[in-house]
Amino acid sequence: MQTESNSQRIAVTGATGRVGSHVVEILEQRGHAVVPIARSKGVDVVSGEGLDEALAGAETIIDTATGPSPDQEEATAFFTASARNLQRAGAAAGAKRIVVVSIIGIDKFQGGYNAAKVAQEQTLLEGPLPVRIVRAAQFHEFVDQLVGWTIQDGVAYLPELRTQLVAARAVAETLADAAEEPEIENGKITEVAGPREERLADVAAALFASRGDSFEIREGRQPGDPDAAAYAEGAALPNPGAKLAGPSFEEWLAAA
Ligand SMILES: NC(=O)c1ccc[n+]([C@@H]2O[C@H](COP(=O)([O-])OP(=O)(O)OC[C@H]3O[C@@H](n4cnc5c(N)ncnc54)[C@H](OP(=O)(O)O)[C@@H]3O)[C@@H](O)[C@H]2O)c1
């Protein structure tokens, strides 16, 4: 819990998203002044519209914004533009640091959205403000969308993905903790993941069962995906020293 003297003004991009909405709530509970940033709040991190005004007086920026597309080129364009804009406008506003949410294992993959996240981290690290990186496992809340992208004619064609799924709330706690660190260590990476390893096919089956969905599940390496082996071999799993936090997917689903 923050005292009034160490409370900060913190701008949160992606403030209405899966993880950003929890970040806003947690920071407010801890006594910080929060500036929520999203297009629906009139601020665009890609075009820069409204950004200078939103960041005025902010000490810390927590960046959880993402565009809607998982396509490598579109996501890279989003993240490099937003990273440059946040560094420029943040420095002009006198901010002290940027905390960004990224994904565990991104540098072990060859392409796709992971490569766009690598570009985001690198572009942020080229800017004037120090950057603190929190790499998270896939969120429990993301499974529905991830699986939905693979469904064709009643069949979910799932990649062999080993992951240690985590609740967005636990990731948000870790981001809030990073924003409150007294020392700012540029480039430091913390990993946060759930309590146990899961297979995407197993959690998809649990999700379908909980909803009474009758989709067939076919798990396999997608032909032509250069990252299929990496996913199957555990490249998305956390490294030793990662912060592990519940609930498990099963517990989260039961409570949802
Ligand atoms: N989902 C996962 O499993 C997962 C796992 C690890 C890391 N991450 C990372 O966590 C971050 C957030 O993911 P999420 O799943 O929470 O995202 P999300 O639910 O899709 O939310 C995206 C947020 O970004 C905002 N946004 C989109 N375009 C914007 C723009 N041009 N300017 C300002 N705000 C914009 C959206 O609000 P508006 O639409 O109103 O603008 C929304 O608040 C991403 O960087 C992602 O890579 C996600």
pLDDT tens per residue, range 93-106: 999 999 999 999 99
Q: Which atom of ligand 1 lies at the shortest distance from residue 19's CA?
A: 16
207 Cα to the center of ligand 1, angstroms: 22
Rounded mean pLDDT, 212-241: 94
User: For residue 64, is it within any domain?
Assistant: yes
Give the pLDDT of residue 139.
Answer: 98
Residue with the two structure tokens 């993905």: 161
Mean pLDDT for 177-202 is 97
By alpha-carbon position, which residue is closest to atom 20 of ligand 1?
A: 17
**Given this model, what pLDDT does residue 206 score?**
98
Question: Ligand 1 — pocket residues by CB below 6 A?
Answer: 13-20, 37-40, 43-46, 64-67, 101, 103, 117, 136, 138-139, 142
Residue 39 lies in a domain: yes
CB 23 within 8 Å of CB 37: no
What pLDDT was estimated at residue 223? 83
Pocket probe mutation, ligand 1, options 47, 64, 133, max atoms within 8 Å of Cβ: 64
Distance 76 CA to ligand 1 centre (A): 14
Q: How far is the CA of 94 from the centre of ligand 1 (A)?
A: 25
Q: Kindly state whether residue 255 falls inside one of the protein's structural domains.
A: no
Indicate whether 144 belongs to any domain.
Answer: no
pLDDT at 4: 53
In a domain, 180, yes or no: yes
Mean predicted confidence (pLDDT) in 23-46: 98
Residue 172 reports pLDDT greater than 80: yes
Q: Is residue 205 part of a domain?
A: no
Over range 25-48, report the average pLDDT: 98
Mutate to test the pocket of ligand 1, among 21, 37, 39 (most ligand atoms within 8 A of CB): 39
Q: Whose CA is nearest to atom 17 of ligand 1?
A: 17
> What pTM does this model have?
0.97
Residue 92, domain extent: 4-138+166-194+240-245
Averaged pLDDT, 51-76:
97
Which residue has the CA at smallest separation from atom 44 of ligand 1?
A: 66
Write b or e for each residue in 18-31: b if 16 or more Cβ atoms lie within 10 A of its Cβ, otherwise e. bbbbbbbebbeebe
Per-residue pLDDT at 5: 57
Q: How far is CA 111 from CA 73, 118, 125, 237, in A?
A: 10, 10, 20, 17
Q: 12, 13, 19, 166: which to mutate for ligand 1, most atoms within 8 A of CB?
A: 19
**117 assigned to some structural domain:** yes
The residue written with tokens 């540098």 in the block is 107
Looking at the chain, the whole-number percentage of residues with pLDDT higher than 90 is 95
How many angstroms separate the Cα of 131 from the Cα of each of 96, 97, 227? 9, 6, 28
* 79 occurs within a structural domain: yes
Query: Ligand 1 mean position to 101 CA, how many Å?
Result: 10
Q: What is the mean pLDDT of the chain?
A: 96
Count the domains in the chain.
Answer: 1
CATH number at residue 46: 3.40.50.720
What is the pLDDT confidence band of residue 3, given thresholds at 50, 70 and 90? low
State in Å: Cα 65 to ligand 1 middle.
4
Question: What is the reported pLDDT for 6?
Answer: 85
